[in-house]
Amino acid sequence: MTTTLTGASRPLSVARTFTFGSRSEMVAVMGPSDSSIAIVESRFPTVSLRPKDLDVVVTGPSEAVATIIRLLSELARLAHQGITISADTVTRVIDMVSAELDQPAHAMSQNILSSRGRKIRPKTVNQKNYVDAIDDNTVIFGIGPAGTGKTYLAMAKAVQALQSKEVNRIILTRPAVEAGERLGFLPGSLNDKIDPYLRPLYDALHDMMDPESIPRLMEAGTIEVAPLAYMRGRTLNDAFIILDEAQNTTVEQMKMFLTRLGFGSKMVITGDVTQVDLPNGQASGLRQVKQILGEVEDISFSMLEASDVVRHSLVSNIVSAYEQWDEDKQAMERKRNRKVKRRTIEAAAERLLEKNGITAAGE
């Protein structure tokens, strides 16, 4: 790599050269018709990239240039490991490098689980921090909007722990009916009633294990999928336990669940505090738990955001739009409350003046 100062009109601008290890590595990183360059330059409008042979010359402000040199290095590492570099990969590595995450390529190539020809790994800074928190703590809360991988990554870690014999069983649970667990309103047997609410957990499990082995493991009790109500009165030893949709637990249910923790077990609690479906204005246990347990050792809270959504890009835009709508709504409500308060004060002042025989003109 070389560094040179550019013309006198831009004294703070520098040019640095990044050299790829091979033509195939460069082609993989640059993408079709150098599409990666367009993505990088759109995120860093003060910087230009010029590819030539195995080199890419990066010109612009020194700090931004240094960031892009590191970006190219991380992307080259991914390409060297045979990982496909898509537009989404470039965007996510940009986010990681900009956030100064150590070794983004290592994070994105760190397989949690390889199953049925797919590799499951964290794809964002917050997802990597979440996975690390699961490794380092006994009780972990993963809180964030839909599509951020909260449950999916937790499930992958659970299967990994079972396969490596760190635990003897996996227990998956969630509130059986989102609006207060009113099972009686649904037709069929108890299993028929609860099955639709546990289906997302089954779906994730089928993505990560041989579907033919799942019924056998469930029959043996190695994998248990059950509504939250079934957890009461139990002590769960040597298990990886996941509570999904935890925003729909009451404060009492959350306490009940957490106190089921036994020796050799790990708990991951996931949910989205913006989608509480509890009836009659009941308080969400997930909303309150951080205030109660935030300072307790060996308990971690991982917050995921719209930028961590790994579904269709439109999902991230939808989440962001709803967040903005909520912020605007709250701002309008605050403004409305200020107006009402001001009018109340003005009316009270007028009544006081009238009571004392004083006119608005001060006569």
pLDDT digits (tens, 9 = 90+) for 176-233: 644 444 545 555 555 565 667 677 788 888 888 888 899 999 999 999 988 898 899 9
Retrieve residue 238's tokens.
Answer: 């040597």
Average pLDDT over residues 265-293: 91
Query: For residue 139, what are the contacts with CB-CB under 8 A and spacing of at least 6?
Result: 258, 261, 266, 267, 269, 293, 298, 299, 300
Residue 187 confidence (pLDDT): 58
Q: Packing angle between helix 190-208 and helix 150-163, nearest 10 degrees?
A: 70
Average pLDDT over residues 145-163: 92
| pLDDT beyond 70 at 116 | no
Three-class DSSP category at 122:
coil
Q: How confident is the model at residue 357 (pLDDT cuts 50, 70, 90)?
A: confident
Strands (E), 87-186: 113-115, 118-120, 139-143, 169-174
Strands 55-61 and 48-52: antiparallel
∠ CA 145-147-150 to the nearest 5 degrees? 75
Residue 201 confidence (pLDDT): 81
Q: How confident is the model at residue 110 (pLDDT cuts 50, 70, 90)?
A: confident
| pLDDT beyond 50 at 1 | no
Residue 203 zone, left/alpha/beta (φ > 0; ψ -120 to 50; rest): alpha
As a whole number of angstroms, the distance between CA 8 and CA 142 comes to 51
